[in-house]
Chain A
Amino acid sequence: MSAPILFIFLPGLMAVALLFVMRQNGWATGLASALCLVLALLAWQMPIDTTIQIGPLSFKVASAIVIFGRRFVLQNTDRAFLTLVYSLGFVWFFGANFARPGRLFWPFGLGMITLLVAAQAVEPFLYAALLIEMAVLLSIPMLNPPGRPVGQGSLRYLIMQTLAVPFILLAGWTSTAIDASPNDPLLLLQGAIFFGLGFALWLAVFPFYTWVPLLTSETNPYVSGFVLSFIPGVVFFMALGFLDTYTWLRDNPNLPTVFQLVGTLMVVTGGIWAAFQNDLKRAFGYAVIFESGFALISLGLHTTVGLEAFATALVPRFLGLVLFAFTLSLFEQAGIKPTLEGVKGSVRRMPFASSALLIAYFSMGGLPLLAGFPIRQAIIEAVAGQSIPLLSWILIGSSSYWAGGFRVLAAMVNAVQPNWEIGEKWFSALMCSAGITAIVLIGLLPGVVLPGLLDLIQVYSHLK
Chain B
Amino acid sequence: MNFSQAAILAVPILMVTSLVLLVGLDWRGTQIALSIQYAGMFWLVTLSWPVGMAAVKLVVGLMAGAVLATTQPGTNPGETGSLPLSGRIFRVLAALLVWIVIFSTIQPIIGLLHTGLPTGLGGVILMGMGLLQMGMNRQPARVVIGLLTFLSGFEILYAALENSVLVAGLLAAINLGLALVGAYLATAASMEPDI
- Indicate whether A212 reaches chain B with its CB closer than 8 angstroms: no
- Indicate whether B83 reaches chain A with its CB closer than 8 angstroms: no
**What CA separation (Å) do A150 and B185 show in the bound complex?**
7
Give the residues in chain B near A134, CB-CB below 8 Å. 170, 173-174, 177
Q: Would B192 and A146 count as touching, CB distance under 8 A? A: yes
- With A158-B147, A162-B147, A166-B158 already in contact, the answer to whether A137 and B170 are too (CB < 8 A) is no
Give the residues in chain B near A169, CB-CB below 8 Å. 154, 158, 162, 167
Q: Would B178 and A150 count as touching, CB distance under 8 A? A: no
Q: Would A150 and B189 count as touching, CB distance under 8 A? A: yes
- Indicate whether B98 reaches chain A with its CB closer than 8 angstroms: no
Give min CB distance, B125 to chain A, whole Å.
15
Q: How large is the interface on B (under 10, 10 to 19, 20 to 34, 35 or more residues)?
A: 35 or more
**What CA separation (Å) do A70 and B169 show in the bound complex?**
13
Measured CB to CB, the nearest residue on chain A to B176 is A137
Measured CB to CB, the nearest residue on chain A to B191 is A146
Measured CB to CB, the nearest residue on chain A to B169 is A68
- Indicate whether B150 reaches chain A with its CB closer than 8 angstroms: yes
Residues facing A in B159-187 (CB within 8 A) are 161-162, 165-167, 169-171, 173-174, 177-178, 180-181, 184-185
Q: Would A140 and B167 count as touching, CB distance under 8 A? A: no
- Indicate whether B51 reaches chain A with its CB closer than 8 angstroms: no
Label chain B's interface by main secondary structure: helix
Give min CB distance, A438 to chain B, whole Å.
29
Give the residues in chain A near B166, CB-CB below 8 Å. 68-70, 127
Give the residues in chain B near A149, CB-CB below 8 Å. 188-189
Measured CB to CB, the nearest residue on chain B to A105 is B194
- Identify which of B134, B150, B167, B191 contacts A147 (C-beta below 8 A): B191
- Identify which of B151, B162, B191 contacts A162 (C-beta below 8 A): B151
Give the residues in chain A near B19, CB-CB below 8 Å. none
Give the residues in chain B near A133, CB-CB below 8 Å. 174, 177
Measured CB to CB, the nearest residue on chain A to B135 is A159
Q: Would B188 and A146 count as touching, CB distance under 8 A? A: yes
Measured CB to CB, the nearest residue on chain A to B144 is A158
Residues facing B in A395-409 (CB within 8 A) are none
| Total number of A residues with any Cβ neighbor in B under 8 Å | 35
Give the residues in chain A near B177, CB-CB below 8 Å. 133-134, 137
Give the residues in chain A near B88, CB-CB below 8 Å. none
Q: Would B194 and A145 count as touching, CB distance under 8 A? A: yes
**What CA separation (Å) do A162 and B149 show in the bound complex?**
12
**What CA separation (Å) do A288 and B123 show in the bound complex?**
35
Q: Would A130 and B188 count as touching, CB distance under 8 A? A: no
Give min CB distance, B34 to chain A, whole Å.
17
**What CA separation (Å) do A278 and B191 show in the bound complex?**
32
- Identify which of B127, B180, B188, B192 contacts A144 (C-beta below 8 A): B188
- With A127-B167, A130-B167, A159-B134 already in contact, the answer to whether A150 and B140 are too (CB < 8 A) is yes
Give min CB distance, B182 to chain A, whole Å.
9
Give min CB distance, B169 to chain A, whole Å.
7
Q: Would B185 and A173 count as touching, CB distance under 8 A? A: no
- Indicate whether A452 reaches chain B with its CB closer than 8 angstroms: no
Q: Would A130 and B194 count as touching, CB distance under 8 A? A: no
- Identify which of A141, A148, A159, A162 contacts B193 (C-beta below 8 A): A148
Give the residues in chain B near A29, CB-CB below 8 Å. none
- Identify which of B158, B161, B188 contacts A150 (C-beta below 8 A): B188
Measured CB to CB, the nearest residue on chain B to A129 is B170
- Indicate whether A348 reaches chain B with its CB closer than 8 angstroms: no
Q: Would A173 and B188 count as touching, CB distance under 8 A? A: no
- Indicate whether B85 reaches chain A with its CB closer than 8 angstroms: no
Q: Would B194 and A140 count as touching, CB distance under 8 A? A: no
Give min CB distance, A2 to chain B, whole Å.
19
**What CA separation (Å) do A70 and B170 show in the bound complex?**
12
Give the residues in chain B near A163, CB-CB below 8 Å. 150
Give the residues in chain A near B178, CB-CB below 8 Å. 137, 162
Give the residues in chain B near A166, CB-CB below 8 Å. 127, 150-151, 154, 158
Q: Would B194 and A102 count as touching, CB distance under 8 A? A: yes
Measured CB to CB, the nearest residue on chain A to B174 is A133
Give min CB distance, A147 to chain B, whole Å.
2
- Indicate whether A155 reaches chain B with its CB closer than 8 angstroms: yes
- Indicate whether A165 reaches chain B with its CB closer than 8 angstroms: yes
**What CA separation (Å) do A221 and B170 show in the bound complex?**
31
- Indicate whether B1 reaches chain A with its CB closer than 8 angstroms: no
Q: Would B194 and A137 count as touching, CB distance under 8 A? A: no
Measured CB to CB, the nearest residue on chain A to B189 is A149
Give min CB distance, B22 to chain A, whole Å.
16
Interface string of A167-189 (1 = CB under 8 A from B): 00110010000000000001000
- Indicate whether A247 reaches chain B with its CB closer than 8 angstroms: no
Measured CB to CB, the nearest residue on chain B to A149 is B189
- Indicate whether A190 reaches chain B with its CB closer than 8 angstroms: yes
Residues facing B in A112-145 (CB within 8 A) are 126-127, 130-131, 133-134, 137, 140-141, 144-145
Give the residues in chain B near A144, CB-CB below 8 Å. 184-185, 188
Give the residues in chain B near A145, CB-CB below 8 Å. 188, 193-194
Q: Would B138 and A152 count as touching, CB distance under 8 A? A: yes
Give min CB distance, A139 to chain B, whole Å.
10
With contacts A127-B167, A173-B162 known, what are 4 further pairs, Cβ within 8 A?
Answer: A127-B166, A149-B188, A163-B150, A186-B112
Instruction: Identify the 9 closest CB pairs spanning chains A and B, nearest first.
Output: A147-B193, A146-B191, A130-B170, A137-B177, A166-B154, A149-B189, A68-B166, A150-B185, A102-B194
